[in-house]
Structure 1
Amino acid sequence: MRSGGSESTAGARRRRRPRRTKPWAVLGRVLVCTLSIAVLLASGVTWYVYRDLTHGMQTSNALDEAKAEAPKHLDNAVNLLLIGLDSRRDMNGKDLPKKLLQDELHAGSSSEVGGYNTNTLILMHIPANGGKVTAFSIPRDDYVDIPGTGHKRKIKEAYDNAKYVAENKLAAQGVKDPVELEHKGREAGRAATLRTVQAFLGVPIDHFAEVNLLGFYDIAGALGGVEVCLNGPVKDHYSGADFPAGRQQLNASQALAFVRQRHGLPNYDLDRTHRQQAFLSSVATKLKNGGVFGDVGKMRSLLDVVKKDLVIDNSWDVLDFAQQASNLTGGNAEFFTLPIERYDQIGDQDVNIVDPVKIKAIVAGAIAHDPAISPSGAAVPPPPPPPSTTAAAGPTGSAPGATSSPSATSKRRGTQSTPPPSTVPPPPVTPVDPPSTGPQGGSVKMGGIPCVN
């Protein structure tokens, strides 16, 4: 009995003897652990760098409302809306210093202005596969439907009007803090702009960035100026622009005058749109040549300067965008200005009449890199060369319905708006309806220093 028990115990011990682990299995485990630690460390570093870059940057939730009613994405491309706000106030609603406005920005004085029009609206379509970036500038006076209001307005007024309505509603609810009113009013303005552009173009908006008037000045200043190219000499005392023809380096004050000038240009606001595109191309080129996109320290220095002027949506990954930015600087991006059917006057304001169906078809066709389809079913030809006979639209006035138009907000706050352009007419031109079979006035390629009017 005892002998059998010993044999049984010995057998059990033999069965429980651990098997020798093969060397390749040990190596595999070590590699898995090492990679896991590397991923965790990289994630931590990325998180730290992201937090460091974006610390103090103002973010917005306004996109949440627009996404709820956005058209469906057909792929993983990203649509980014750039918003240039024509405001002479800081983020808390305080007037910018009068000396800065008059001497450096050539933008009147704080007692004469106070509106919140979006004079720059550019949608950038960034393909998921890293292909060509296509950007669309929307002329600021396009007369469009404003979602949720049942009214049409100039697209630039969607922000201003929504801000005014929201502030009045909040004030009626007992909100008295002017900073809170300003912040919440601007959020309403952003949401209205995003919804309006999204509905007008028929594409979802994934991210946005808003920069105010001072932001253009600060960006140019932080870069030590920008280089531009003009087809001919210009001089305009309204914006302060006074430049010869050809390539030239502009300081911050001159750069702002460059993007703001519209008086004295052959195509008025449309030429100013091309100026804005050329400014962005020059900035992107300088950032690339300066190695900013690949250098966290340089990115931090630039963002530290413009943080006070910039608002981005709360889901935008700045680091990820910086990695994609090389597509914007090597000639792999192109700007188009969306077409106008004709100029018209509605009430006391001059507007651009547009065909929303045609606009959506052009945008969809360009994004898909296929010929756009016009409302008649015919293919829209590729962008035509810049028209040589297109003249400017007439002067612009206030929004329809002065009692509800936010352009009158400054008056209700004890300030006076800038005299409407009708009191300071542009140089005499004969208005000619522009062609509308494709993007307006040709295109501006991103990368390098494009020459514009």
Structure 2
Amino acid sequence: MRPDHTFPAVDPRSRIGSRAQVRRARIARRRAERARKVRRTVKAFALTLSAAILVTTGMSWKVADQFDKGFIRSDALSADAARSLDGDMNILLIGLDTRKGPDGAELSPEVLAQLHAGSGDNGGYNANTLILVHLAADLGKVTAFSIPRDDFVPVHDIPGYRKAKIKESYGLKKAAVQDQMIAAGEHDARALERAGREAGRASMVRTVRDLTGVPIDRFAEVTLAGFYDLAKALGGVEVCLRHPVHDLAYSGADFPAGRQRLDAAQSLAFVRQRHGLEHGDLDRTHRQQAFLTSVAMELRKAGTFADLKKLSALMRVAHDNIVLSDGWDVTEFLTTLNDKDLDVEFRTLPILRYDVVDGQDVNIVDPAEIRRTVRSAFGAAETSEPIPASTVDVVNAGHVIGAAASLSAALSAHGYGIGTTGNGVGSTSLVRYPPGASSDARHLADLLGLPMTETSSVPEGHVEVVLADDFEPPAGLTSRADSAIVPPAPATGESLGARIADTAIPCVN
């Protein structure tokens, strides 16, 4: 019964208003009042519970506010970039293999001694850990794709480079921006570092977004020292190795086979080793996935957040090693995840084959296949709908003679309606479409593995493909005879699936 229910007046002196009726009316009023009290109690309990969540995770409201405000923030995410729909969220985790902290300061001698890699003057700003995490709106599924650091992909607005290893997108852009600032007369080291790293972050976000074809809503950048400091704050992490490893000369890894607990220095060696592993960098990728799984399980252990000393150490680790995209309320985010038994599936983006470009070992990838793989795993709509009705115009903006005609012929063979071909200008391959034709453009962009942009300069009923020097025809457009000469894709290892509430630690090479 609703608390605002109005009861009819009863005259106890009337025959209609008998004593029984009066008694029933009084009972109904008492029940309604009890219901109001229960609702007030439930509301009070809900508020208390909200506070209790923070208390049980070791944080008061004040501490929670300090925790959220203690991070270095970045506005490298473009304000007008696409965002996920319906409450889903895509988060890019960037692990920098740099010998300097988020503010450009040299790492502590303690950490540098464990890196087996020299001082901050050695090594660049390579993103040796790239993980794209998708959280469904109902948190019923979490999918995390590791991106192999040697994937050879297009990069944008970096003088002298059309394509590079994806890990280099950050450092190359950072260096280019700093060179431009120095040429313009800027010599303040802090200003150079701040602007350079912001440019590097923006470059990495754009490169990953263009490769995978999905929006990026948040990102977190972690320094190399973060792995060391996190393991130290937790008192070590548990891992499981299929085989013993001995890599003292490079990473410092020297572990037996089987399940074992590693201290901070050993954990850093564990996630950095690639020499002596069967699949090299791909095995290192699985090491990083296993490390994060172990950390997540460790954080969910009873008492981890109730230990104020350990909590303080974890907060220092977070603030010293992590840069977050602006506007990300981490306290609210973590509170939401607190009581969830998350099903997390770790996967690795597919590669076509290994190759050598300019003397460097690289992974050759098919951007169109990557987009299809990611969109399918993230629950996006399939792109196998009928061929779009829009006419496809192709513009050659690069130096490859006949590129536009070749692509037009390939698209025509696959059922697309072909319009004009010609030459134009542009430094980046993309799909351009008029207002209202986003669906047709998406179909084509997914097939070609290209970004797309809306413009009123493309006539209605048409979609335009701009081919710059960075364009490579996807495997999906090759004939059966041509595809037979493409070497089979190397084994990338099985997906690592782990329910964070369980105690199973995945075994890796």
What is the rounded CA distance, in whole Å, between the counterparts of 2:325 and 2:305 in structure 1?
20
Which of the numbers 270, 276, 285 marks the counterpart of 1:273?
285
What is the rounded CA distance, in whole Å, between the counterparts of 1:77 and 1:271 in structure 2?
30
What is the rounded CA distance, in whole Å, between the counterparts of 1:220 and 1:148 in structure 2?
37
Secondary structure in structure 2 of the residue aligned to 1:285: helix
What is the rounded CA distance, in whole Å, between the counterparts of 1:283 and 1:253 in structure 2?
15
Aligned to 1:429: none
What is the rounded CA distance, in whole Å, between the counterparts of 2:119 and 2:81 in structure 1?
39
Unaligned runs of 5+ in 2: 1-28, 386-410, 415-442, 444-485
What is the rounded CA distance, in whole Å, between the counterparts of 2:104 and 2:309 in structure 1?
31
- Kindly state the Cα deviation for residue 367 of structure 1 after the two structures are TM-superposed: 1.1
Tell me if the contact between 1:87 and 1:115 (Cα under 8 Å) persists in the aligned partners: yes
What is the rounded CA distance, in whole Å, between the counterparts of 1:324 and 1:273 in structure 2?
28
Q: Identify if the C-alpha distance between structure 1 residues 76 and 293 changes in structure 2 by more than 3 Å, giving closer, same or farther.
A: farther
What is the rounded CA distance, in whole Å, between the counterparts of 1:273 and 1:225 in structure 2?
20
Which of the numbers 423, 441, 445 marks the counterpart of 2:497?
445
What is the rounded CA distance, in whole Å, between the counterparts of 1:242 and 1:433 in structure 2?
34
Tell me if the contact between 2:353 and 2:488 (Cα under 8 Å) persists in the aligned partners: yes
Q: 2:105 matched to 1:108?
A: no
Which of the numbers 106, 115, 120 marks the counterpart of 2:129?
120
What is the rounded CA distance, in whole Å, between the counterparts of 1:163 and 1:225 in structure 2?
33
Aligned to 2:139: 130
- Kindly state the Cα deviation for residue 91 of structure 1 after the two structures are TM-superposed: 2.6
Q: Identify if the C-alpha distance between structure 1 residues 292 and 68 changes in structure 2 by more than 3 Å, giving closer, same or farther.
A: farther
Q: 2:358 matched to 1:347?
A: yes
The correspondence of residues 326-337 of structure 1 with structure 2, limited to 5 A, is 330=341, 332-337=343-348
Which of the numbers 149, 155, 175 marks the counterpart of 1:140?
149
Aligned to 2:473: none
- Kindly state the Cα deviation for residue 95 of structure 1 after the two structures are TM-superposed: 2.7
Secondary structure in structure 1 of the residue aligned to 2:265: helix
Which residue identity is paired with 2:292? L
Which residue identity is paired with 1:91? P
Secondary structure in structure 2 of the residue aligned to 1:273: helix
Aligned to 2:73: 59
Aligned to 2:294: 282
Q: 2:102 matched to 1:88?
A: no
Secondary structure in structure 2 of the residue aligned to 1:153: strand
Aligned to 1:14: none
Higher relative contact order (CA 8 A, sep 6+): 1
Q: Identify if the C-alpha distance between structure 1 residues 50 and 100 changes in structure 2 by more than 3 Å, giving closer, same or farther.
A: closer
Tell me if the contact between 1:121 and 1:138 (Cα under 8 Å) persists in the aligned partners: yes
The correspondence of residues 78-227 of structure 1 with structure 2, limited to 5 A, is 78-98=89-109, 100-102=111-113, 104-111=114-121, 113-149=122-158, 151-227=162-238
Secondary structure in structure 2 of the residue aligned to 1:54: helix
Give TM-score scaled by structure 2 length: 0.65
Which residue identity is paired with 1:435? A
Q: Cα deviations across residues 16-75 of structure 1 (Å, max 9, x unaligned)?
A: xxxxxx9989x989x89x979x97997999864432212432111111x2x5233x5343
Secondary structure in structure 2 of the residue aligned to 1:335: strand
Q: Identify if the C-alpha distance between structure 1 residues 342 and 248 changes in structure 2 by more than 3 Å, giving closer, same or farther.
A: same
Unaligned runs of 5+ in 1: 1-21, 378-431
Secondary structure in structure 2 of the residue aligned to 1:344: strand
What is the rounded CA distance, in whole Å, between the counterparts of 1:92 and 1:162 in structure 2?
17
- Kindly state the Cα deviation for residue 344 of structure 1 after the two structures are TM-superposed: 1.1
What is the rounded CA distance, in whole Å, between the counterparts of 1:367 and 1:293 in structure 2?
31
Taking every aligned residue pair, what percent have the same amino acid on both sides? 49
Q: Identify if the C-alpha distance between structure 1 residues 372 and 342 changes in structure 2 by more than 3 Å, giving closer, same or farther.
A: farther
How well do the aligned residues superpose, as a CA RMSD in angstroms?
Answer: 3.6
Aligned to 1:412: none
What is the rounded CA distance, in whole Å, between the counterparts of 2:333 and 2:307 in structure 1?
13
Tell me if the contact between 2:111 and 2:225 (Cα under 8 Å) persists in the aligned partners: no
- Kindly state the Cα deviation for residue 98 of structure 1 after the two structures are TM-superposed: 4.6
- Kindly state the Cα deviation for residue 259 of structure 1 after the two structures are TM-superposed: 0.3
Q: Cα deviations across residues 209-245 of structure 1 (Å, max 9, x unaligned)?
A: 1111111100000000000000010000200000000
Q: Identify if the C-alpha distance between structure 1 residues 208 and 452 changes in structure 2 by more than 3 Å, giving closer, same or farther.
A: same
Secondary structure in structure 2 of the residue aligned to 1:442: coil
What is the rounded CA distance, in whole Å, between the counterparts of 1:248 and 1:99 in structure 2?
23
Q: Cα deviations across residues 312-352 of structure 1 (Å, max 9, x unaligned)?
A: 11211212221344588x56101001111011111121211
